[in-house]
Amino acid sequence: MIVAHTEAEIPPKRDVERAFIPTMGALHEGHLSLVRAAREHASEVGVSIFVNPLQFGPTEDLSRYPRPLETDLALLAGLKVDWVFVPTVEQWLGRPTTSVSVGDLGTRWEGARRPGHFDGVATIVAKLFNTVKPDVAFFGLKDYQQCCVIQKIVTDLSFPIRLELLETIREEDGLAMSSRNAYLNADERAVAPHLYKSLVAVRHSLNAKSDPESACRIASDHLSSVGFNVDYIAVVDPDTLLPATEIKGNERIIAAAQLGDTWLIDNIGL
């Protein structure tokens, strides 16, 4: 496995399909499921590990974000990844003043709670796409709004890249795997699966013809009662992420809530 620290060290493109999985490292089964799917799918698999400073707000956890690089590289080598791009902020990113912005889609929900977050994501993903030139890129539906944002930049900016968006990998108790779960203490970890359970409860209520607003209000009250600070739980159109007023059956139920100092996000389809 080649470990490329600079753009020039990424192997030149060959006449085979190049699959790419961008990550921020601290790899878990969620990331590895994307790598395995890519490995099954394409002749060449590349991964990037880059903790993107542009997507962290000034009060967020950039400096404490976990960076177990050696472990990550060993996991990727075990999955027969061809190359890993591990750029430095100084050398690869510098101090860009150009920004990619997707408009409204990036300012709702996570974008409202984390102003500038999705511009940071879109800018880095566009830069990675230009650097790596993949034929197909794999992302996790765990970060549903991020998937919508990336779909939008691919469409709007005509990147010749196919996207594969894969299902969320969960712990046995339903908690979506996330690098940030490591921040939870034992009490918080015990409560954390309620986030997913609440999404499932909203889905049941909608299937029983409850209206989305009251189903989400009940779920939000439940989350508050077990100790979450809820930012949002909502039923949204799967493309625009605008709140759904009537249920067609393809909506997404999305949520973000804080436990102690840790923000958790999750979502499921109807």
Restricting to residues 23-82, which ones interact with ligand AMP according to CB under 6 A? 23-24, 30-31, 33-34
**Residue selected from 87, 106, 111, 140 as contacting ligand AMP according to rule CB under 6 A:** 140
CB 76 within 8 A of CB 27: yes
State yes or no: residue 195 binds ligand AMP (CB under 6 A): no
User: Which residues from 6-25 bind ligand AMP, rule CB under 6 A?
Assistant: 23-24
The pair of structure tokens assigned to 155 is 């469409």
Q: Does 169 bind ligand AMP (CB under 6 A)?
A: yes
* Binding flag, residue 145, ligand AMP (CB under 6 A): no
Q: How far apart are CA 24 and CA 190, in angstroms?
A: 26
28 has catalytic annotation: no
Q: How far apart are CA 236 and CA 63, in angstroms?
A: 33
| Selected binder of ligand AMP within 48, 179, 205, 220 (CB under 6 A) | 179
CA torsion angle for 3, 125, 8, 53 (degrees, to 10)? Answer: -70
Which residue of the set 5, 28, 31, 194 is catalytic?
Answer: 31
Residue 152 contacts ligand AMP per CB under 6 A: no
Q: What is the DSSP string of 13-56?
A: P-SS-EEEEEE-S---HHHHHHHHHHHHH-SEEEEEE---GGGS
Kindly give, in sequence order, each residue whose CB lies less than 8 Å from that of residue 176, ignoring residues fewer than 6 positions away: 30, 142, 168, 169, 170, 195, 196, 264, 265, 266
Q: What is the smallest separation between the CB atom of 169 and ligand AMP, expressed in angstroms?
A: 4
Q: How far is the CB of 86 from ligand AMP (least distance, A)?
A: 13
Least distance between ligand AMP and beta carbon 146 (Å): 6
Of the candidates 81, 122, 126, 177, which one interacts with ligand AMP according to CB under 6 A? 177
Question: Is the CB of 129 or the CB of 139 nearer to ligand AMP?
Answer: 139
In the block, which residue shows the tokens 């009251």? 214
Instruction: Please report whether residue 168 would count as binding ligand AMP according to CB under 6 A.
Output: yes
Shortest Å, Cβ 245 to ligand AMP = 28
Burial 223-250 (b: 16+ CB within 10 A, else e): beeebbebbbbbbbebeebeebeebeee
Q: Is residue 205 within the footprint of ligand AMP (CB under 6 A)?
A: no
How many degrees, rounded to 5, is the angle at CA 229 between CA 226 and CA 230? 100
Binding site for ligand AMP (CB under 6 A): 23-24, 30-31, 33-34, 139-140, 142-143, 168-169, 176-179
Catalogue the active-site residues: 31
